[in-house]
Structure 1
């Protein structure tokens, strides 16, 4: 009897990624915009990294944080999009158990790292607007490097229990994941065990890590807006606020689908599965694609450098 129970509760060797349930007939068509966004993401973020590296005038804290954001976007895209496109294009749905846990670890750790980078960028905007004369002394290069390292370690450590807990659960139900790639709750929901530890820890990360980041951002922009409203002229207020618009757009693009996807997974809101999957894929695809576009269009120095590079290549 003991042997029977032991063999019944085992980890699956592979999971089957169903893709977008209910829209299997449209997988090839959906993959076309997905692939286009993937290419734009790679080109855009690599361009940002190249411009900042080769332009000495951009060697400032804001642009260093922007490079960190570009690197995290590249890691997130390359950790998920090849699996998604293989599923949609070639119907390659199998993924090994270890690869699945590795993928979900990267997806969620990068989300925490990127959230931390957005907070650091908010701090940069706060110091630049509220304490402009002390900006270079407060946010020096060593502090920027330490901040980036702290954000990476925070994401790596806080998300490590996700795959460790998921590995220990017994899986005796289906091994089919109704999704395009491996997500934490979609995997552990397949376990035939009490997964409250995984659920509660996931909520802890959501509210105490990402929620704390949102609170810090809200506080920083409250102080920024208070400082802006104290400026003497309307033009000065608009010009100063204009330096924050890129960051605000990136914040909205990152947190809105992220929080929506996390809450709907845990609380089972009555949303069609294909709608949920598409929205979460938008979170994976759109922010990494539009981040370099937003900063490329809105940041004068990057825009000027990019135009200079393009005109040099023209005959």
Structure 2
């Protein structure tokens, strides 16, 4: 797998080089952030698992959403915490590919789960009489598995193509490994044609996911306009989903636009901020948004806190 890149054993990550005088502060803030992400996501997951009243498609999808948030952040935070304590910021070649796989599959899985969530809300509001037959446990299991496995296989294909490239540099000017940046280190641009084609096909596939989400909510909004009951259901269950979608799209779009069109003259601190937004805001805000907005989750968590304090 790595015979063409045998001369590259390590990558040097230079994203932290200009901020090492603040390493103690950054380490403390990053550790606090990661602990909070784990706490709020685990709280939502445990609340859903323990309460049989929440063993419904909407809550199971939310559980999968939070699990995916833990998966993606675990691919980033432990490594960056280690780098903040280390004088040299390096990662092995294989470790870099694995990290890139985790980052990209996490982002694509998030969008896939959001698409399934939008379909669930479409069926619940626009076709309520057939909801339980359409969103059966078997179909839900298939959709969740598809949301996880398909991105993993697609991104795995991109990473495999990257592993075949002969690289002529070991330096990555970021906090973590990104497949597109690794591809740019290839000795010959001609060797990256297949990588670029597959990358654009991947982007197109997930743009269609976004189009499907928009299509679903166009129908949902049409159905809710003239129905007080549906408007209440929309505000209770769809607004958290749309808020999560907004934060996810905005943060990921910032990073993608920077990778593709960003200027190297930007301050490193700003580059770092743009790069980690999708690993910071959505994993924190998603469980908080759903936890406060969905009554069952809020009551279950508050009940658990009260029982522990008594």
Provide structure 1 residue ranges, at least 5 long, that are not aligned to the other structure: 1-6
Task: Output aligned runs, 1:204-283, within 5 Å.
Answer: 204-206=201-203, 208-231=204-227, 233=228, 237-238=231-232, 240-269=234-263, 272=266, 273-283=268-278
The 4+ residue runs of structure 1 with deviation greater than 6 A are none
Question: Of 119, 122, 129, which aligns to 2:118?
Answer: 122
Offset at residue 35 of structure 1 (A): 1.8
Deviates more, 1:298-307 or 1:82-91: 82-91
Q: Distance in 1 between matches of 2:187 and 2:259?
A: 18
Secondary structure of the 2:289 match is helix
* 1:213–1:166 distance in 2 versus 1, CA, 3 Å: same
8 Å CA contact 1:48–1:70 kept in 2: the answer is yes
* Structure 1 pair 128–89 and aligned structure 2 pair: CA distance change class (3 A): same
Matches within 5 A, 1:293-304: 293-304=288-299
TM-score scaled by length of structure 1: 0.90
Residue 65 to residue 271, structure 1, CA distance change in 2 (3 Å): farther
The answer to whether residue 179 in structure 2 is matched with residue 184 in structure 1 is yes
- Give the secondary structure class of the aligned counterpart of 1:90: coil
Q: Which runs of 5 or more residues in structure 2 are unaligned? A: none
Q: Does 1:314 align with 2:275?
A: no
Partner Cα distance (1:144, 1:209) in 2? 21
Deviation digits for residues 33-83 of structure 1 (CA, Å, limit 9, x no counterpart) = 322221111111111111111101000000110111111111111111111
Would the aligned equivalents of 1:84 and 1:180 in 2 still touch at CA under 8 Å? yes
- 1:132 matched to 2:128? The reply is yes
> Structure 2: how far apart are the matches of 1:305 and 1:97?
44
Q: Which residue of 2 aligns with 1:94?
A: 90
1:193 corresponds to 2:193? no
More deviation in 215-224 or 152-161? 152-161
